[in-house]
Amino acid sequence: MIEKELINLIFKTFSVERWNDKLRPIPLMQMDKHAHKMMIAYVLGRYEEDHGNEFNWRDIIKGGIYELIRRSVISDIQSPVYREIAKNEKLLTKLNYMIYKEVEDKLPSEFVKNEFERYLLDSTFLHPHSRKILEAAHKYSSYWEFQIVRNANPNGYSISDIEIMMGNDIEKLSDLEGIRRLKKKHNIKNFVDLCGELRYQIRWGHLQRVPQTSVLGHLMMVATLTYFLCLELEDLTDERLYTNFFCAIFHDLPEVVTRDIIKPVKRSVPGMQEEIQKIEKKLAEQEIHPHLRKSWVNEIKFFTQDEFAYKTKKKKFYNYEDFKANLEGETRALDGPLVKAADDFSAFLEAYNSINYGIKSKELESAMKSIAVKYKDVEVSGLKIWKLFEIYNVIN
């Protein structure tokens, strides 16, 4: 199971600022950018899938995860410097090998170590079209951020040059249907824009914390934890990994129209949580689903409605045993409680790290301990989830 050192390395990207040599109206954090990138990768991948183009969803998922880990190590290298390093193949190989040695002992298994090393050092490790989708998602999510920077620095030094360079980078990837549609401002651009706006919503908005975390960044943390938990599952199929990961990355998407309503408010009034779910569903149908291809809407609903249940396309299950017994032949199987465990553990980490940095309150301490107690001796999808909390020693 994922260990504390790797969790800390990944959590660090909540504090890695991007574009920090430019005036920014809001902080632009690496974790937020990476979440947006993976949402865009989903959109690009779905277009490629609809057109019958061959690629591998598992490669897209693990490529996204491994790149996040890589960037957490080289966060001090600015993009212009890295671009120059990347032109020198020998130097880039040495840098990537250094990254691997830095992270090697933090990785949870020999399987992951081998994959991460190959991701860094073997250009054939990912399916070439999967790699292209990831590259395009990276370029477009960076360009999306740049629009914020450009508007704050309309006459700033090198702004025009950066825009031309980034525009050229995206133009080179215009053979992807999704990129063409985003450039022409089809409806899907509105969906991508809505996803990006989740970075403006700060979690635990009624409390001071360090680092502050957005809903968007939180989704990437949940998806990353879900990925590593999924690797522990018996008989993990590519379909099940796809469903669990993208449920994790999209499960809070309705909050782009409802905003983040804190749990005490949801739970304090009888029936409030159920009513909020109805409102979320209605607003999603009005403001999110119209921007998607009709054939994608049911899947987004699957990811965002009743998202913490054990379920398949056909049926919902009330325990893991029944769910596991009915997996054969299913094209979509969701370990919803596992995503929920990753969601709760991410919230736990947000409270724990703030307290560890010295910014604490009774509310944060209470939330941290109550989440840990909730999972005491609990197994989810056959995994001993309590072991995640045990290493933080917050329960006496």
CA distance 313 to 317: 11
Least confident among 75-89, 143-157, 204-218? 75-89
Structural domains of the chain in order of their starting residue, each with its CATH number: 4-200 (1.10.3210.10), 256-390 (no CATH)
Let me know: does 55 contact 214? Beta carbons within 8 Å: no
Mean per-residue pLDDT, 156-169: 93
Is the pLDDT confidence value at 269 over 70? no
Beta strand pairing call for 383-384 and 333-335:
unpaired
Quick one: tokens of 348? 């736990």
Q: What is residue 312's DSSP assignment?
A: E
Q: Which residues of 24-36 are buried (b: 16+ CB within 10 A; e: fewer)?
A: beeebbbbbbbbb
E strand segments, the chain: 310-312, 316-317, 333-335, 379-380, 383-384
| CB contact at 8 A, 241 and 255 | no
Residues facing 310 on adjacent strands: 317, 335
Q: Looking at this protein, which amino acid is placed at residue 65?
A: I
Lowest average pLDDT, out of 15-29, 135-149, 260-274, 374-388, goes to 260-274
Q: How close are the terminal C-alpha atoms of the chain, in Å?
A: 23
Helix (H, G, I), strand (E, B), or coil: what is residue 214? strand
Q: How confident is the model at residue 267 (pLDDT cuts 50, 70, 90)?
A: low
- Quick one: pLDDT band at residue 86, thresholds 50, 70, 90? confident
In this structure, what token pair is assigned to residue 235?
């008989």
Structure confidence at residue 299 (pLDDT): 97
Residues 118-143: pLDDT tens digits?
999 999 999 999 999 999 999 999 99
Could you tell me the two tokens for 4?
A: 């504390």
Answer yes or no: are the C-beta atoms of 281 and 298 closer than 8 Å: no
Give CA 298 to chain center in angstroms.
21
What is the pLDDT at residue 257?
86
Helix, strand or coil for residue 333? strand
- 211-266 pLDDT per residue, tens: 999 999 999 999 999 999 999 998 899 999 999 999 999 999 999 887 665 565 55
Structure tokens at 314: 């056909």
pLDDT score, position 310 = 97
Residue percentage of the chain with pLDDT more than 70? 97
Q: Which residue has the higher pLDDT, 396 or 373?
A: 373
Q: State the amino acid at position 233 in one-letter form.
A: L
Instruction: Check residues 252 and 314 and name the one with the higher pLDDT.
Output: 252
Strands, sheet with 316-317, edge to edge from the N-terminal-most edge strand: 316-317, 310-312, 333-335
Cα(304)–Cα(166) distance, integer angstroms: 33
- Backbone CA torsion sign across 248, 253, 258, 259: positive
Residues 17-26: tens digit of each pLDDT: 999 889 999 9
Report helix, strand or coil for 381: coil
On the question of pLDDT at 272 being above 80, the answer is no
pTM (predicted TM-score):
0.94
Q: Is the pLDDT of residue 308 over 60?
A: yes
> What mean pLDDT is reported for the chain?
92
pLDDT of residue 184: 93
Instruction: Give the whole-angstrom CA distance, residue 143 versus residue 15.
Output: 20
Q: Which residues pair with 29 in a beta bridge?
A: 17
Residue range 166-217, pLDDT digits in tens: 999 999 999 999 999 999 999 999 999 999 999 999 999 889 999 999 999 9
Q: What pLDDT shows up at residue 297?
A: 97
Distance, in Å, from the CA atom of 42 to the CA atom of 55, rounded to the nearest integer, reads 12
C-alpha to C-alpha distance for 366 and 100, rounded to whole angstroms = 38
* Positive/negative CA dihedral, 140, 145, 146, 148: positive
